[in-house]
Structure 1
Amino acid sequence: MANKKIIIAIDGYSSTGKSTVARQLAKALGYIYVDTGAMYRAVTLFAMRKCFVDATHFNKEALERFLPFIHIHFEVNTKTGIAEVYLNNENVEKEIRKLEVSKLVSPVAAVSVVRRKLVEQQQLMGKDKGIVMDGRDIGTVVFPEAELKLFMTATAKDRAERRYNELIERGDKVTYEDVLKNVVNRDHIDSTRKDSPLRKADDAIMIDNSNLTLEEQFEQIMKITKDIISKME
């Protein structure tokens, strides 16, 4: 690959495989990968542990007061080569992926003060380019100037099936109905929130992977990436 480095912004609905393809791209290009969804999940986990949020209530004011005490960073797991998220120096990578966190992350991510804090951190991470970042508002808010923007989508049914299988393989006790309900609910909250709602950037390339294998998806996106980088030279 050429030495010209770019910013790759990947947005889209939950459970569309954004993180998977972002990791693949980062590894192939020698770029840094940042999973912004993990950052919001870490904040959500913090709020859950402090009893600021659960299925029946959400104390936004308390969470906002404690934001200065929330420190998030990524460290590469030397065995897997994957960057894992740390909350106040504790590896919470596995805990933040649980369905309990998934059910509460969208309301937490909708809080304007939380978004501002994390967006500032995300923009700093991309100042030298050579980064692949995925989330809900990367191409619209975090890096509107990104050289490559992708928007991932798939049917709710397909996404729920993938997420369900992933959770079951990991040993979590969940039902498909609960996972599907969570996917649909997150879509609604993410798309209708007032602050940085999920939407496709005007210049983003839509990738519908409902009927694509992981290999087909990666090949398609890698070709697009190479074309963009070659035009930058």
Structure 2
Amino acid sequence: MTDLAFPEFRPGEVWLVGAGPGDPRLLTLMALHALRSGDVIVHDELIDKRVLSLAAPGTAIQGAGKRGGTPSPHQSDINEHLIALAREGRKVVRLKGGDPFVFGRGGEEAQALAHAGIRFRVVPGITSGLAAAALAGIPATTRETNHAVILATGHRALDETSVRDWEAMARTGQPIILYMAMSNLARIAEVFLGAGLAADTPVAIIASATYAEERLLETELGRAAQDARDNGIGAPAIVAVGSVVGVRRHLLHALLQGEA
């Protein structure tokens, strides 16, 4: 890293840093620079402790995790806390799983910081959906299967308006990678089937991707929710739906997985 020039982390700045899917070896060099340069880290719920251990000695570590179904800080409170720390002259690392601008509320935090006149920098990370799929041998795109891929979050209940959105996604015929979808997977699958996707559409559910306890379930759309229940697979998980999942079986004989 001595031959690389990194920007100076100045007092009063907030860096919105993507921590990637979990495994600290998948951090970017820029993220590592931020961790070693900041003096306070405000981190999401699912950040691996090994990532936090890379911070410089004496760095303040503060949790600000939001996790579905459990008491969590309000986003507005997190925004105000980041602003307050910056105004104290701290070098603030806002550490978020995956990429801060992909279902990570980083956009909301950036808007709050900009409105408050706080200087900030975005440090992209490997988004969990694409990383989990790739590491499992599921390419997001291939020339033979698809020309686009849809990233979607499934944590909210499907009302009449959102059902139409999900139906439209299914009708594109493009693979769909779902974040935070396990609690609504049965309903999402029902909507997809109603929109015309076949019951035997390939599905992969990847739980705790990049961690030692990672589990992968290959199934089909018509029975995905039941298979997940039967196998005890729950959140956090990424769900990949579509033809690219079927590519995995052609790669398995040569795919290196889970090695140190």
TM-score tier after normalising by the smaller chain length: under 0.3
Q: TM-score, normalised by structure 2?
A: 0.25
